[in-house]
Amino acid sequence: MSFKARMEEASRKRESDIVLALDFPFQNSTNRKTLLTRARNLLEAVQPYVCAVKINHHLLLPLGLFDGVQTIVKDIHEKGLLAVMDCKINDIGSTNQVMAEYYFAAGFDAVIANPFVGWEEGLQPVFEVARKLDRGVILLAYMSHKAASEGYGQTVINQKTGAKIPQYVLFAEKAVSWNADGVVVGATYPDKIREIYETVKENVPIYSPGVGAQGGTAEDARKAGARYLIIGREITQAQNPADAAKKVAASTRDRT
C-alpha cells in the first residue's frame, strides 16, 4: 500500500488529520535518556488524537538516528501511526539517496525534501528508493515562517514555457509531475494553500505547519485546501498536551 493510502487510512481510523511535530527546545544536558523518555511519554499521551508523527532535528541530533530516534519510530508504528522524517533533503543525488536510505532503514514511512535541487541528479534517486520500498516523499512548496517569500515566493521563469511564475506554483507543478506524496504549505499563508491546491487538487495532499505558535489557524488552513495539519508547539509545549491534541482533533471531526 502506498504512503498516501496509508495516511488516508490512518486519518480515517483516528478521525484526525493531525500530524504531531514531536519537537522540543534545546536542552543543555548530557542526559539524553531524559529527552527520549519525555518524547515517548508525550507520544503515548497524545497518540489517540493524531494520525502521524513528524520528527525533525530536535530529536535526531541529540538522540541519534539508530540510538534513540529509531526507538520512537517503533513506538509510532506500534500505535498504528505513521512516521515522517523532516530532513528537508537538499543535496546532490548520491547524497540524497544515502540520506533517504538511512531514514527508511530506521523505519520512517516518508521523508520531506526540498525541490530546489531539481530532479536529475537531485531528487530522482530519492523518489526511486521510496517507490522501491513503498515509502513516501513530501515536497516543500511554501514554508510557514515570515521570510518564506524570499525563496519560495520569488518570481522565476518556467524553463518549459518561458512564462514568469511564482516559485511555489512551479514547485506545486513539480509535485504533480513527480507524483509526490504531499506538499508542505504553511498554514500561516492560506492564500498560498488555496493557490497551490488549484494546481495539485486531490492528487497531492497538502500538509500545513504553522498552526498555533506561528499564528496560523486550523480552520483557515482546512478551508483553503489543506488535508493534514502539522502541529508542534501548540501541543508539545502545552500544560496538558493530551487536552491540547484532543481539542484540535475535535475540530477535525466537526469540519464539513
Written as nine digits, the cell of 66 is 539508530
Check residue 45 and give its pLDDT. Answer: 96
Tens of pLDDT, residues 76-128: 999 999 999 999 999 999 999 999 999 999 999 999 999 999 999 999 999 99
Buried b (16+ CB within 10 A) or exposed e, 222-252: bebbbbbbbbbbbbbebeebbebbbebbeeb
Buried b (16+ CB within 10 A) or exposed e, 84-94: bbbbebbeebe
Check residue 127 and give its pLDDT. Answer: 98
Question: Among all residues, which ones are annotated catalytic?
Answer: 88
Nearest to 167 by CA among 189, 149, 144: 149
Check residue 252 and give its pLDDT. Answer: 66
**Ordered structural domains, the chain, with CATH:** 3-254 (3.20.20.70)
Tens of pLDDT, residues 164-222: 999 999 999 999 999 999 999 999 999 999 999 999 999 999 999 988 777 788 899 99
The dihedrals phi and psi of 85, each to the nearest 5 degrees, come to -95, 115
Written as nine digits, the cell of 200 is 495539485
Q: Compute the distance between CA of residue 183 and CA of residue 140 in angstroms, rounded to an integer.
A: 6
pTM above 0.75, yes or no: yes
pLDDT at 151 over 90: no
Check residue 211 and give its pLDDT. Answer: 85
Check residue 256 and give its pLDDT. Answer: 40
H or E segment and range at residue 130: helix 124-133
Nearest to 151 by CA among 190, 195, 117, 179: 117
Tens of pLDDT, residues 45-82: 999 999 999 999 999 999 999 989 999 999 999 999 99
Buried b (16+ CB within 10 A) or exposed e, 50-72: bbbbbbbebbbebbebeebbbbb
83 CB-near residues (< 8 Å, 6+ apart): 52, 53, 54, 55, 72, 73, 76, 77, 107, 108, 109, 110
Tens of pLDDT, residues 216-246: 888 999 999 999 999 999 999 999 999 999 9
Do residues 170 and 193 lie in contact, with contact meaning Cβ atoms separated by under 8 Å? no
pLDDT > 70 fraction of the chain, expressed in percent and rounded: 97
Q: At what angle do helices 167-177 and 190-200 cross, to 10 degrees?
A: 40
Mean pLDDT of the chain: 93
Check residue 214 and give its pLDDT. Answer: 78
